[in-house]
């Protein structure tokens, strides 16, 4: 397991009451947050534990190679994703994605 610095948000999926923060994008692949069903960009084949902006909640994200359909409410272009918002430490570990 290693730590990385930097987070990005998904503008199309963020809500004012419960913003979602994800590790900094490292490759143009789409993953789905297992709890919230929100989309994110992260390297394929990576299993991440991510925190929301408050640091109180963690979510496991499984990553698949390829672009999955965006969940309802996530109507935003890929060019908007990956905006660096603030520095943060997120622990990640890489493994093969299955499914």
Distance CA 85, CA 96 (A): 28
Distance CA 19, CA 72 (A): 16
Q: Please write the tens of the pLDDT for every residue from 30-87.
A: 343 444 444 444 443 344 444 444 444 444 443 333 333 334 433 333 323 332 222 2
Give the pLDDT confidence score for residue 75 in this predicted structure.
35
Question: Which pair of tokens denotes residue 72?
Answer: 């309802």
Distance CA 80, CA 15 (A): 16
Kindly report the pTM of this predicted structure. Answer: 0.20
What order of strands is seen across the sheet that includes strand 30-33? Answer: 2-5, 89-94, 46-51, 58-63, 30-33, 39-41
């Amino acid at each position: 397991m290693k730590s990385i610095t930097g987070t990005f948000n998904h503008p199309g999926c963020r809500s004012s009451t419960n913003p979602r923060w994800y590790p900094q994008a490292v490759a143009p692949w789409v993953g789905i947050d297992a709890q919230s069903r929100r989309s994110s960009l992260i390297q394929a084949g990576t299993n991440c534990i991510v925190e929301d902006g408050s640091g109180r909640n963690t979510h496991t994200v499984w990553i698949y190679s390829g672009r999955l359909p965006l969940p309802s409410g996530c109507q935003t272009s890929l060019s908007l994703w990956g905006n660096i918002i603030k520095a943060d430490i997120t622990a990640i570990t890489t493994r093969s994605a299955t499914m």
